[in-house]
Amino acid sequence: MNDLQFQLDMAQSVIQHLDSKEKMYQLVCSTSRNAFIYVDFLKKSLSVLGNRSSFFDFTISNESDLIKIIETVEDGYKNDLQKLLFFERTHKENDSLECKLEGKDKWLEFECTIIYQDGSPIEKVVRIRDISKSKKQNEELQYMAYYDTLTGLYNRNYFVRVLSEWIRNAESDNESIAVMCLDFDDFKKINDGLGLVAGDELVQSFGLFIRDMLDDRMIAAHVNDDTFYMAIKNPIGNHSVDYIFTQVLKRLEKPFRLLGGHEIYITLCAGVAEYPETATNSLELINCAEVVMFRAKELGTNQLKYFEAPIYKDFLDNVNLENRLKEAISMNRFVLYYQPQYDSKSGDLRGVEALIRWKDENGKMISPGCFIPLAEKSGLIVPIGSWVLEEGIKKYAEWRKKYDCNMVLSLNISALQYKRQDFVNNLFDLLEKYQVNPKDIELEITESVLIDDFDQVVEKLHVIKDYGIKISLDDFGTGFSSLSYLKGLPIDTLKIDKSFIDTVIDDESTQVITESIVSMVKKLGYETVAEGVETEEQFEYLKKIECDNIQGFLLGKPMPEEELVSLMEHNG
Ligand code: C2E
Ligand code: CA
Ligand code: CA
């Protein structure tokens, strides 16, 4: 009896133990956010555990119910899921499958484990997991890897990838491909004027327009601020580049309406390179299209230009020049020449203008006209300009000490250099360092400096002028010159451009303009300097109309320091 009681107690304790284990497993399963289908092949039974209610709204109590699960997934997954859920896949111990649910934005993962004994399956567990969230994240990541989020067009990398694939196929299929690079004109002005958000909105609207144009023979990418690429397979008929560009221009005839109510008109330029004529690999094609796009911009707005070999050669030459210029900066291969300016009445030396020269490896002097434009385009003007400032001021301090000269040193300042935040402080520091009186220094700026942010530019001019430095407006008459805006400018001197002086003797209307400039400037209290005076006749005329100062080959060409020094010794 005792023995029986003992066995009963044992059995009960085992049952209790099993109960609590079962509860534990149930709890673990139901809180795991997964559902499990457990199949016992020997007992031919099936049970579902875990969080099944969040997966199915039907009961699964035997094998045939598994059909119901298969019916919930999209057609493309049905076959594989059937194989996984039913017992055909006995060759694999582990298997998993991701399925999208029919008509829902939901993904399930089915992971199957089969337990074998002596080569035969005895048990199987299918774990079902909701992977919608990670799928979505993956999709977003993939989208970001391939697409530009602002416009929904391809990004640069993906464009290159697809274009490369197109080129590979084009080789065997004898197809041609055109790559077009499109870039808005003056986008910076739009961005500066309306703000970055409006700029983005504009780019987005244009991107959507491009997207609507696409079909299976075209791809497009938004690659940075306002630059788009398009590639067109077999560009003929209404897929020809000319036709597509005309469609784009038609769209640009109408404004883009932005959310803030602004209506913006834009213009753009495009460059085209073609496979296989221009290049046979995607990066080179894109590169060439970009280079011609910049050339198109030089022709004006809304221009389309096709690749021509000489354009690329120019580009490479420029690259070469840029590299040489960089080297010249690091090797300090520049010198300053000085051109005198004289008072037209007294004939006294009023001052000198410092003009840069690049002494190349062979000692040849390269004139600034050959490299200043490139230096401005590439930003190299900033280090070059800093060198000019320091060199000029340093030399001026030496002359002042030696020759006690009483003259002004004029220094040319580029827009990019002037715009820099540290420009004013650096300038003041240099005057301090070399102990030069600010009133002996004159900065020559051109109207291009004034184009950007007029108020800010003028504010800076005031700071410079208040410090005592003179400001001269260079090349007057060549830009958007208008006498009316001169009034508000804190300047001291105005330089009448050589183009006026060239024709002033023979052309009556130039005479009228020149005379009105001189008299108006006088009324405003500024000094005048006439540039490029080459003949006695010009000199006499300018003196007669009371132009204050004369600069030009007639009185002195730009000269090296030694020559200027001997001139000062002579005068002194
Ligand atoms: P710019 O400031 O208008 O300088 C006057 C230019 O006209 C100089 O050319 C000068 O040599 C030339 N010139 C003066 N008188 C006559 C004349 O009677 N007849 C003729 N045919 N030409 C005359 P340069 O030295 O070749 O300089 C060209 C331009 O390069 C300058 O025009 C200026 O815009 C720029 N530049 C020169 N040095 C610098 C510099 O240090 N910094 C910056 N940012 N630009 C500079
Ligand atoms: Ca000048
Ligand atoms: Ca000038």
| CA 218 to centroid of ligand 1, rounded, Å | 49
For residue 444, give the ligand nearest its CA.
Answer: 2
Map tokens 């040193």 to a residue: 409
Q: Are 259 and 201 in contact (CB under 8 A)?
A: yes
Q: What is the pLDDT at residue 168?
A: 92
- Atom number of ligand 1 nearest to Cα 336: 41
For residue 355, give the ligand nearest its CA.
Answer: 1
| CA 396 to centroid of ligand 2, rounded, Å | 17
Would you say residue 552 has pLDDT above 80? yes
Q: What angle do CA 256, 303, 175 make, to 5 degrees?
A: 100
Q: What is the pLDDT at residue 482?
A: 66
| CA 443 to centroid of ligand 3, rounded, Å | 12
Q: What is the pLDDT at residue 480?
A: 59
For ligand 1, atom 35, the nearest C-alpha belongs to: 368
Among 412, 448, 502, which is best to mutate for testing ligand 1, by the most ligand atoms less than 8 A from CB? 412
- Atom number of ligand 1 nearest to Cα 392: 41
* Average of per-residue pLDDT across 258-283: 91
Q: What is the pLDDT of residues 50-106, one digit of tens each?
A: 887 888 888 888 888 889 999 999 999 999 898 888 865 555 667 889 999 999 989
Would you say residue 1 has pLDDT above 70? no
Q: Which residues contact 371 (CB under 8 A, 6 or more apart)?
A: 321, 325, 358
Domain chopping of the chain, boundaries: 1-26, 32-135, 147-307, 329-571
More confident residue, 196 or 207: 207
pTM over 0.75: no
535 Cβ closer than 6 Å to some ligand 1 atom: no
* Average of per-residue pLDDT across 144-166: 91
For ligand 1, atom 17, the nearest C-alpha belongs to: 532
373 Cβ closer than 6 Å to some ligand 1 atom: no
| 32-135 and 147-307 have identical folds | no
φ/ψ region of 315 (left if φ > 0, alpha if ψ in -120 to 50, else beta) reads alpha
| Distance (Å) of CA 211 to CA 258, 450, 507 | 18, 38, 55
| CA 512 to centroid of ligand 3, rounded, Å | 21
Superfamily (CATH) of domain 32-135: PAS domain (3.30.450.20)
For ligand 1, atom 20, the nearest C-alpha belongs to: 532
* Average of per-residue pLDDT across 220-249: 95
| Top CATH class, 147-307 | alpha beta
Q: What is the pLDDT at residue 92?
A: 65
Q: What is the pLDDT of residues 493-525, one digit of tens each?
A: 999 999 999 999 999 988 998 998 999 899 989
**How large a percentage of the chain has pLDDT more than 70?**
97
Reduced to 3 DSSP states, what percent helix, strand and coil does the chain have, rounded to the nearest 5?
Answer: 50, 25, 25
How are strands ordered across the β-sheet holding 177-184?
218-224, 227-233, 177-184, 268-275, 304-306
C-alpha 516/C-alpha 165 separation (Å) is 65
Q: What is the pLDDT at residue 297?
A: 92
| CA 385 to centroid of ligand 3, rounded, Å | 16
* Average of per-residue pLDDT across 212-225: 95
190 Cβ closer than 6 Å to some ligand 1 atom: no
Would you say residue 364 has pLDDT above 90? no
| CA 514 to centroid of ligand 1, rounded, Å | 20
Q: How confident is the model at residue 346 (pLDDT cuts 50, 70, 90)?
A: very high
Q: Which residues contact 213 (CB under 8 A, 6 or more apart)?
A: 220, 244, 247
Q: What is the pLDDT of residues 277-299, one digit of tens each?
A: 998 889 999 999 999 999 999 88
Among 329, 355, 367, which is best to mutate for testing ligand 1, by the most ligand atoms less than 8 A from CB? 355
- The mean pLDDT of the chain is 90
Rg for the chain, CA atoms, rounded: 40
More confident residue, 527 or 58: 527
| CA 498 to centroid of ligand 3, rounded, Å | 7
Q: Which helix (H) or strand (E) holds 5?
A: helix 2-30
556 Cβ closer than 6 Å to some ligand 1 atom: no
Q: What is the pLDDT at residue 430?
A: 97
Q: What is the pLDDT at residue 479?
A: 64
Q: Are 89 and 112 in contact (CB under 8 A)?
A: yes
User: What is the 3-state secondary structure of 323-376?
Assistant: HHHHHHHHHCCEEEEEEEEEECCCCCEEEEEEEEEEECCCCCEECHHHHHHHHH
* Average of per-residue pLDDT across 541-563: 97
Q: How confident is the model at residue 4 (pLDDT cuts 50, 70, 90)?
A: confident
More confident residue, 196 or 542: 542
Provide the Cα torsion 115, 118, 122, 125; round to 10°.
Answer: 10
| Top CATH class, 329-571 | alpha beta
Q: How confident is the model at residue 377 (pLDDT cuts 50, 70, 90)?
A: confident
Lowest mean pLDDT among 18-32, 465-479, 519-533: 18-32
* Average of per-residue pLDDT across 200-209: 95
